[in-house]
Amino acid sequence: MNVRKPANYNTMYREVAEILTQNLPQMEEIHAIGKAVSRRPEKGAAVAAAEFLQANFPDRTGFSPRNVRRMRDFYRTYENDQTLLRLAMKIGWTLNVVIMEAELTSVQRISCLQRAAAERLSKKKLLEIILNDAFAEKPIDEPDEICYNITNTSEDGADQAQFESPLRCVAKRKRGVVRCGRRKISSLVSYCCSLASDFLSTVYHFPYLQAWLGSS
């Protein structure tokens, strides 16, 4: 008869205790606890961590077994995506739980994280966005992430500027001007200069255009 030995969680206990003594910001603390619990393969690791934290840090709240499992899931959700993790770390734990537990596509999750961070959404407002499927209602600029490609894809051959993000395509107009990331603005200026140069070259080769422009 095989008798299963009780799991030894002493290493995990030391890790989570050390995390709490560091007085980290909320999301950094949650991410660190989730990482420590995630290292354990046992199904009962989250419950064991919760019981340890409740017993040894009675003045702290938020360490129910369910919440510690969420911390573990939070770490695993963004473990291999540092871009999304940076977005998630910008918002509070309550909003992160809402986003994690909603059945969202990758694009919808990104949209929620972006809007929650940029607009300082309340839990109620975030739930309204999710329930009403209003993810693309108001795209959010991420200046350091946005890039763009200049293409010539319209049916009449007119040049168009298409802005793309590594996460998802983002285009936003404000006062009639397309805004883009600072890192790519110089390329847009170069493109506009190229169009102006082509126009001037055309005018130069057609004197009647020069006369028409002069008369107007």
For residue 81, tell me if it sits in a domain: yes
Instruction: Considering only CA atoms, give the Rg of the chain.
Output: 26
CA distance 17 to 211: 82
**pLDDT tens, position by position, 146-159:** 443 433 433 343 33
Q: Helices 123-131 & 106-119, crossing angle to 10 degrees?
A: 150
Helix, strand, or coil here: 151? strand
pLDDT at 200: 62
- Same domain for 95 and 122, yes or no, is yes
| Domain stops at, among 131, 164, 195 | 131
**pLDDT tens, position by position, 188-207:** 556 566 666 666 665 555 56
Q: What is the mean pLDDT of each run of 10 residues along the chain (216 residues)?
A: 74 97 96 97 95 96 96 96 94 95 90 92 92 64 42 38 35 35 51 62 56 56
For residue 24, tell me if it sits in a domain: yes
- Same domain for 110 and 166, yes or no, is no
Whether the predicted model's global pTM rises above the 0.85 cut: no
For residue 43, tell me if it sits in a domain: yes
| Domain stops at, among 81, 96, 131 | 131
- Same domain for 23 and 125, yes or no, is yes
Nearest to 62 by CA among 98, 28, 93: 93
Structure tokens given for 64: 């129910």
- Same domain for 58 and 99, yes or no, is yes
Q: Whole domain around residue 171: which residue ranges?
A: 147-215
Per the DSSP assignment, residues forming a β-bridge with 151 are 160
For residue 5, tell me if it sits in a domain: no
Structure tokens given for 188: 């847009």
